[in-house]
Structure 1
Amino acid sequence: MRYHVAGSGPVCVAHSGGPGIEWEYLRAPLLEQHLTMVYVEVVGTGESGRLADARDYTMPTYTRFLHAVVTDLGLPQVALLGHSHGGFVVQQYALEHPDLVSALVLYDTSPVTGEEFWTSALTKLQEFADAHKAEHPEVETYAAKLSSPIGEFDDDGATDVLRTIMPAYVADYWGREAEFAPLRQAIRITAAPSRGEGPPFDVREQLPSITAPTSVLVGDRDFICGTRWADMMHSGIPGSRLVVFPNTGHLGHVEVPVEFAEAVVKFVGSS
């Protein structure tokens, strides 16, 4: 396992999404001005190790490898920030290792996946396509691409799918294309982690057992991990805080970086 350290201040370990999206997209320079950010190079991606059997990319695997990073840091407690699939991992970790988590930031994520989750995401993605197909007819392919079994692609094919549908992940891609196009060209995903086998993620009944101070961050126009799921986590985790970023999609740290950094730094610094 590799991880990357930048900045100074209280330690915050950041786990990227996917599964399999390489960590660089989640880098947040404004956070590094106030926090020591530890970006996990998730198992199976980048220069971290690969599993011998791709079926083993499961939640127990991700939490075990996250624990290896936290242990290696040698600190009594750390803050955890999980984005999207990374939010699944840090929720599970907070349930398994409550004594090691000083603060929990659940960023554009959900307490559950499965059929209902994906049906909702595809419905909202189709609404996005309907709204933009007149000017950008290629969006009509987005729902089919999101439904593609990423694990059947090689890394380049999986990355092409991610880059193709990336405009749906932000609130105003074409209005701010000069800002977002470099990220679209740089973002990469490793296909193997999508081949993991296991039950759908679901910690809804366990949310009341999360004891770490928790902040739930969500963009109000996030089609995949939007306010429905954020409200579910907020109502389920005792004492949690909810921050909704207006006119923002799935990548608030890029779309509204100042507001995102203020929300995270204020919360982690006070926890």
Structure 2
Amino acid sequence: MDIPITPGTFSTGLPYLAFGSGEPLVYLSGFTMTHGAPPPGPQRRRATALVAPFVAAGYQVFWTNRRPGMRVGTTMGEVATEHAEALRDRFAGPVPVLGHATGGSIALQLAVDHPGAVDRLVLASTAYALGPVGRRFHRELIAAAERGRSGMHKAAPAITRNPLLQRLIAVPLWLAGRMDRPEDPSDVKAMLLAEDAFDVRDRLAAVTAPTLLVCGGRDHMWPPEMFHETAAGIPGARLTCYPKRGHNLLAAPEFSTDVLAFLGSR
């Protein structure tokens, strides 16, 4: 499938790639080592593969990252406000928002603080706050970035509980991190610290958009109860769990099928 791709920047400085044409669907990316749109090459091909099912269904998918130049000390509330202003300036009304991992944290903060910006909400691999494994991973990523190194191999415990498998997958994770290593780690540090302080557990009832939360049974960034507590706290939210999937569940065929069914339901 040959998908037209249009790069752009929202009014508040958020970079995006617009894939295809049709009704808008805003996709807030998971964690990235740099605050920019995926460049041509492997990163863009991966992004294209993730959004392809939604483009085929008639959506124009706005793959969105955080604003470059984020200052350390920025709060998740400030990040959400940047997104709300960007969406209001770009679109005529509320739009469906799909957020994965870090993007899911932003999407949830957005829906809590600015409910009028979100038409339908899909939260993938995220919860009302970071889990303990996620917090530890963030601390290790920050320390590695400040030394100019890749810390992505520290994500292995979030992928598997098996010590042998952790050692086996650490090498490809480390290599992947080196390919995407930023020259200036300040954006990474700012976003990680903002997400570390993120916690909307007591405000979940403020979400007014119909919500689907999707998680993997093998995603160890959060204990399973945090996914259930998040869904239970959002009025009318649905929770879908794939027992054999992990953190990166967006490529799973059942994910796009379930999300499209949710987006099309009224």
* TM-score, normalised via structure 2 length: 0.73
Residue 193 of structure 1 corresponds to 187
- C-alpha contact 1:16 1:82 (8 A) present in aligned 2: yes
Residue 124 of structure 2 corresponds to 107
Q: Does 1:261 find its partner at 2:256?
A: yes
Q: State the one-letter code of the partner of 1:39.
A: W
Per-residue deviation, residues 132-186 of structure 1 (Å, max 9, x unmatched): xxxxxxxxxxx7x7642516625952xx211x245555569x7xx9xxx699737
Go from structure 1 to structure 2 and tell me whether the alpha carbon gap of 1:241 and 1:212 turns closer, same or farther (over 3 Å shift): same
Unaligned runs of at least 5 residues, structure 1: 45-49, 123-142
- C-alpha contact 1:12 1:81 (8 A) present in aligned 2: yes
Go from structure 1 to structure 2 and tell me whether the alpha carbon gap of 1:10 and 1:241 turns closer, same or farther (over 3 Å shift): farther
Equivalent residue for 1:215, pick from 193, 212, 217:
212
Go from structure 1 to structure 2 and tell me whether the alpha carbon gap of 1:265 and 1:189 turns closer, same or farther (over 3 Å shift): farther
- RCO (CA 8 Å, sep 6+): is it higher in 1 or 2? 1
Go from structure 1 to structure 2 and tell me whether the alpha carbon gap of 1:208 and 1:10 turns closer, same or farther (over 3 Å shift): same
Go from structure 1 to structure 2 and tell me whether the alpha carbon gap of 1:57 and 1:17 turns closer, same or farther (over 3 Å shift): farther
Give the % identical residues. 23
- C-alpha contact 1:4 1:41 (8 A) present in aligned 2: no
Q: State the one-letter code of the partner of 1:261.
A: S
Residue 54 of structure 2 corresponds to 31
Q: State the one-letter code of the partner of 1:259.
A: E
Name the CA distance, whole Å, in 1 between partners of 2:173 and 2:33. 20
Equivalent residue for 1:18, pick from 31, 34, 38:
31
* TM-score, normalised via structure 1 length: 0.72
Name the CA distance, whole Å, in 2 between partners of 1:215 and 1:10. 19
Name the CA distance, whole Å, in 1 between partners of 2:122 and 2:174. 23
| Structure 1 position 194, deviation (Å) | 4.2
- C-alpha contact 2:122 2:214 (8 A) present in aligned 1: yes
| Structure 1 position 8, deviation (Å) | 3.5
- C-alpha contact 2:140 2:154 (8 A) present in aligned 1: no
Q: Does 1:4 find its partner at 2:17?
A: yes
Give the total of aligned pairs. 232
| Structure 1 position 83, deviation (Å) | 1.2
| Structure 1 position 225, deviation (Å) | 3.3
Go from structure 1 to structure 2 and tell me whether the alpha carbon gap of 1:36 and 1:150 turns closer, same or farther (over 3 Å shift): same
Equivalent residue for 1:75, pick from 89, 92, 97:
92
Per-residue deviation, residues 101-139 of structure 1 (Å, max 9, x unmatched): 1100111011023xxx32x558xxxxxxxxxxxxxxxxx
Q: Does 1:95 find its partner at 2:112?
A: yes
